[in-house]
């Protein structure tokens, strides 16, 4: 039986998030420029989007560019932005044909105008799609998101639209970039690094974490199916005892 066949369809993560890491090291190992790592990373993106659609995972969120990534050499940042635009252009039809809705989170206004336009275009064209929501985290940083949230809520308090006593998890959730997404169930990071790197800090409060040494450009459907099988073997207790769950 293949890994895919062993997956329990009733125990799928509703929201899968992925920190796609290792493009640079993949290229270096092969004596190539980092740019080749990023280009080959787009193949892995396609594989994982398809894999999630095949097994019916409703929400997939991919960490594509962090607020900290702006500090990389200018030439690499430019290449990543160009790659974003060309990938969006190339994939729009496939996304639409597969009934996938594109969404984006992050400080999108920091992106080059061309990337903003392309992104908006794909988001508009796919907005009625319902099979899966694919969210790209672009110029995304969890701390920036939390600061934005606090500012917005503070303004509402100041204008008497909300009282401090009524601030709860729902109010906070409703002000995050991820307001339309459920909490993350499974977070995968490739490349062997075991850190969160400012990704979805609030939203992963009870996520299962899965780290793999595979470098992102080598990541294929079967790797994902293995990660899901691993996730399905875990007991998610949410603070309760094991007996309580029985």
Minimum gap (Å) between residue 191 Cβ and Mg ion: 6
d(CA 1, CA 83): 37
d(CA 195, CA 113): 31
The option from ligand IPE, Mg ion, none interacting with 23 (CB < 5 to 8 A, set by class) reads ligand IPE
Assess whether 168 carries a catalytic annotation: no
Minimum gap (Å) between residue 150 Cβ and Mg ion: 28
Q: How many CB atoms lie within 10 A of CB 66?
A: 21
Assess whether 69 carries a catalytic annotation: yes
191-210: b (≥16 Cβ within 10 Å) or e: beeeebebbbebbbeebbeb
Minimum gap (Å) between residue 7 Cβ and ligand IPE: 25
Q: Which of 8, 21, 23, 168 is catalytic?
A: 21
| Residues within the interface to ligand IPE (CB under 6 A) | 19-25, 63-66, 68-69, 80, 191, 193, 195, 197, 216
Give me the residue whose beta carbon is nearest to ligand IPE.
24
CA distances from 158 to 151, 153, 161 (A): 10, 9, 8
Residue 28 or 156 with smaller CB distance to ligand IPE: 28
| Residue 21 touching Mg ion (CB under 5 A) | yes
Residue 19 or 153 with smaller CB distance to ligand IPE: 19
82: three-class secondary structure by DSSP: helix
Pair of tokens at residue 94: 């496939």
Residue ranges binding Mg ion (CB under 5 A): 21
């Amino acid at each position: 039986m293949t890994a895919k066949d062993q997956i329990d369809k009733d125990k799928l993560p509703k929201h899968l998030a992925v920190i796609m890491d290792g493009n640079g090291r993949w290229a270096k190992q092969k004596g190539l420029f980092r740019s080749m790592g990023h280009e080959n990373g787009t193949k892995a993106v396609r594989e994982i989007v398809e894999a999630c659609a095949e097994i019916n995972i409703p929400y997939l969120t991919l960490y594509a560019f962090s607020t900290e990534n702006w500090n990389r050499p200018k030439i690499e940042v430019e290449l990543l932005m160009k790659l974003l635009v060309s990938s969006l252009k190339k994939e729009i039809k496939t996304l639409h044909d597969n009934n996938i809705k594109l969404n984006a989170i992050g400080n999108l206004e920091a992106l080059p105008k061309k990337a903003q336009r392309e992104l908006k275009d794909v988001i508009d064209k796919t907005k009625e799609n319902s099979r899966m929501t694919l969210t790209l985290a672009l110029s995304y940083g969890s701390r920036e998101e939390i600061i934005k949230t606090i500012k917005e809520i503070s303004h509402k308090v100041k204008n008497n639209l909300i009282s401090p006593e009524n601030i709860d998890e729902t109010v906070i959730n409703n002000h995050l970039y991820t307001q339309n997404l459920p909490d993350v169930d499974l977070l995968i990071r490739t490349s062997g690094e075991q850190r969160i790197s400012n990704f979805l800090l609030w939203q992963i409060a009870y996520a299962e974490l899965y780290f793999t040494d595979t470098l992102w450009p080598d990541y294929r459907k079967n790797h994902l199916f293995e990660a899901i099988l691993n996730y399905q073997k875990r007991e998610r207790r949410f603070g309760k005892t094991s007996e309580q769950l029985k």
